[in-house]
Amino acid sequence: MKSSESTLAHREAGTNIIPERKSTNAAVKKKGLSRKAKDNLAGYLFISPWIIGFLGLTLGPLLFSLAASFTDYNITSKMNFIGLENYKRMFTMDDLFRTSLYNTIYYVIFSVPLTTAGAILLAVLLNQKVKGMKFFRTIYYLPAILSGVAVYFLWMQLLSPSTGLVNTMLGWFGIEGPAWLFDPEWTKPALLLMKMWSVGGGMLLYLASLQGVSSQMYEAADIEGATAWQKFYHITLPMISPIIFFDVITSTIGSFQIFQEAYVMTENGSGGPGNSLLFYNLHMWNNAFEVFDMGYASAMAWLLFIIVMILTVLNMKLGKRWVHYEGGDGK
């Protein structure tokens, strides 16, 4: 558990940490630096770009924003300590804060299960031994390599109410498609639809882990007369549960941070019709860079951090009940 958890954490942070090396020729005493110290030095030297980057570009601003969240900092002229005023304002005076939190939670609640289930389903399908499978795998993975903004513009055209491909196809079946990005009730489903299209990235993770599931277990299950569903539920799912766990945590964090989609796909980045796409981060961005209320925006950022932190801890706790680590004792 311990080691796999820490690799997960590193992967999540996108960092490369050189695994701690166990010095085999222990303590050969020489003049100057000992072998161990040299090793350490080399190690620190190798990770120094990351350390410098972390201290200068992440930790520094991070602490600054924490301090700023207790002030009325507006970038250019003010930075007075105002205590918890910013935090109070979120809950008492800012209606858009509530709207944005609601929109974001709505999005997280639907997008995390849908994309996770979608990716698993796709991975299981693409793990069959059928001719031309490589071709299908490529096709389904393709959307994941296309980059953000271009994809959003593509989907804005696909989702165009009267001329878009989506509604045109619905029309063939006699269904009158909704106005998607123009109808507040349909804007979030429209984004979810778009997200489903690019589950290929998650699919790849699952596919890799599915291929690591030993075929012996399936053979044993076959002998016992298990059905396909029983095999999936009792063998496949537990065996890939560490990856599911990883995916759920990272995609929950990612979904809370949804911003680009709303910024690009709504008029002037305003948050869409009736504020239906005003997500937490978009509201925060508007406060920071449209009205220069950087102190308030910092407070919003820290509140989001707390929310995500709580959810992640909760996930970690609940994870113990259903995540199965091979070779471990479940701790």
223 contacts 213 by C-beta, under 8 angstroms: no
Query: CB-wise, 5 or 85, nearer to another protein?
Result: 85
Beta carbon of residue 45, minimum distance to another protein (angstroms, whole number): 8
- Collapsing DSSP to helix, strand or coil, 256 comes out as helix
How far apart CA 189 and CA 252 sit, in angstroms, is 17
Query: CB-wise, 41 or 220, nearer to another protein?
Result: 41
Please give the structure tokens belonging to residue 23. 């010095």
Q: Cβ neighbours of residue 4 under 8 Å, at least 6 residues apart?
A: 242, 325
Q: Which residues bind another protein (CB under 8 A)?
A: 33, 37, 40-41, 44-45, 48, 51-52, 74-78, 93-96, 160-163, 179, 182-184, 270-271, 273-275, 278, 286-287, 289-293
Query: CB-wise, 67 or 75, nearer to another protein?
Result: 75
Beta carbon of residue 75, minimum distance to another protein (angstroms, whole number): 5
Residue at token pair 């007075």: 80
Beta carbon of residue 95, minimum distance to another protein (angstroms, whole number): 6
* Element spanning 53, H or E: helix 35-53
Closest CA to 296 of 107, 78, 99: 78
Beta carbon of residue 2, minimum distance to another protein (angstroms, whole number): 24
| Burial of 97 (C-beta count, 10 Å sphere; 0-12/13-18/19+) | buried
Query: CB-wise, 91 or 322, nearer to another protein?
Result: 91
Please give the structure tokens belonging to residue 150. 């271009």
Query: CB-wise, 50 or 218, nearer to another protein?
Result: 50
Beta carbon of residue 188, minimum distance to another protein (angstroms, whole number): 15
How far apart CA 240 and CA 289 sit, in angstroms, is 43
- Collapsing DSSP to helix, strand or coil, 254 comes out as helix
244 contacts 123 by C-beta, under 8 angstroms: no
The CB density around residue 76, as the number of other CB atoms within 10 Å, is 8
Query: CB-wise, 203 or 277, nearer to another protein?
Result: 277
Beta carbon of residue 71, minimum distance to another protein (angstroms, whole number): 14
Query: CB-wise, 47 or 221, nearer to another protein?
Result: 47
Beta carbon of residue 176, minimum distance to another protein (angstroms, whole number): 9
Task: Please give the single-letter amino acid code of residue 42.
Answer: A
